[in-house]
Amino acid sequence: MKVAGKHYLTIWMDGNSIFMINQNALPFEFKIHEAKKYTDTCHAITTMITRGAGAIGAAAGFAMAQAFIEASGNYETGSAEFQSFIQKARYDIESTRPTARNLFFATERVFQAGIESLEGAKQEAQRLADENIADALKIGEFGNSLIKSGTRILTNCNAGWLGFVDYGSALSPVYVAHRSGKEVFVYADETRPRAQGARLTAWELQNEGVPYAIVPDNAGAYLMSEGKIDIVIVGADRIAANGDAANKIGTFEKAIVAKEFGIPFYIAAPLSTFDLSIPDGTHIAIEQRSEEEVHYQSGPDAEGTMRTIRVTSPGANAINQAFDVTPAKYITGIITEKGVIIPEKNTIESLF
């Protein structure tokens, strides 16, 4: 990740603390947030200080390691109190963002390693973060093969550096293509209500020097009908055994329109996002977030002071589903660290 020419990771662990780029402050201010205890890290995940499938997974792994550190400092290892603390911590961590498969994948691995030893928990959490970076880079390299010079790409939400420890998923092919000298252009959906595209994707692309434009969420169909989009690449938070994929709300409608106009629609995600325990997308739990996110927006005023204002009719109610599920039949392919695959049950199972 490049920030003013300097390389950063999205999230990392140093000692007992977890440090992360505060995504709620972006793009107006670049700040590093410190979470000293696992409950602090849970709060950071829930409030979207850190967000994105891969980053959530890394945060969850680090949080689980923090829980073992805290338990070891307060209780005799293996005691009933120790076990109770660890079990509660795991429940707390897994309750933060229920749709994100990477979160559960990470807590399970670090939990099992921590049962063996405290050092094992810390090492496994770091191993997960390292794998996250390596997988994202491979996704970029495989996805680059789908991009020609001059390709115009539509994406939804943010699945770039900030969504992983580094590189990202949906934007990783863009960055690899751009760095290889290809000319690319990105249309970034604003992604209401949290505006991850308008705030985060735009900020990333600006830092990387990739040409882009922010577009309203409801502009996709028009742009496709005008022949201005060559490919759609988005991330995913959970992929079912049959290839149905949950991603940020608004993804499903883009997939439908892309199919109508014959435009390739790709999901970019590592194997840790796949959930073979569920047969299809109807079994994916969809996170319901506060309606306040719909009613209020924040940003700096003319003097640079951050303000929060209501942008909806006073007294109105709102529904705020964080994700929708795109059926596999609308997905051209899934870009993984093992290559680009067709979204069907047999193909997905063969990856494992």
Query: Residue 6: what pLDDT?
Result: 85
What is the number of structural domains in the chain? 2
237, 244, 280, 301: which is the annotated catalytic residue?
A: 237
Question: Phi, psi at residue 43, to the nearest 5°?
Answer: -60, -40
| Joined tokens for residue 42 | 């849970």
CA–CA distance, 270 with 222 (Å, rounded to integer) = 31
How many angstroms separate the first and last alpha carbons of the chain? 30
Query: CB-based contacts of 17: which residues, under 8 Å, 6+ apart?
Result: 34, 35, 36
Residue 238, strand partner residues: 246
Whether 141 is in a domain gets the answer no
Statement to judge: residues 231 and 179 lie in one domain: yes
Statement to judge: residues 185 and 323 lie in one domain: yes
Convert the pLDDT of each residue in 205-234 to its tens digit.
999 999 999 999 999 999 999 999 999 999
| Host domain of residue 15 | 2-135
Statement to judge: residues 90 and 168 lie in one domain: no
CA 139, 144, 150: angle at the middle one, nearest 5?
A: 145
Q: State which of 80, 111, 135 marks the end of a domain.
A: 135
CA–CA distance, 282 with 102 (Å, rounded to integer) = 18
Query: Residue 270: what pLDDT?
Result: 96
CA 170, 175, 177: angle at the middle one, nearest 5?
A: 105
- Name the pTM for this structure: 0.94
CA–CA distance, 41 with 256 (Å, rounded to integer) = 36
Statement to judge: residues 315 and 234 lie in one domain: yes
Helix (H) or strand (E) holding 39: helix 38-46
Whether 188 is in a domain gets the answer yes
How many CB atoms lie under 10 A from the CB of residue 281?
A: 22
Catalytic-residue membership of 244: no
CATH number for the domain that contains residue 287:
3.40.50.10470
Convert the pLDDT of each residue in 106-140 to its tens digit.
999 999 999 999 999 999 999 999 999 999 999 99
CA–CA distance, 242 with 244 (Å, rounded to integer) = 6
Which residue stretches of the chain have pLDDT < 70?
A: none
Query: Residue 16: what pLDDT?
Result: 95
Contact 38, 89 (CB under 8 A): yes
CA–CA distance, 32 with 49 (Å, rounded to integer) = 10
CA–CA distance, 87 with 71 (Å, rounded to integer) = 11
Query: CB-based contacts of 316: which residues, under 8 Å, 6+ apart?
Result: 295
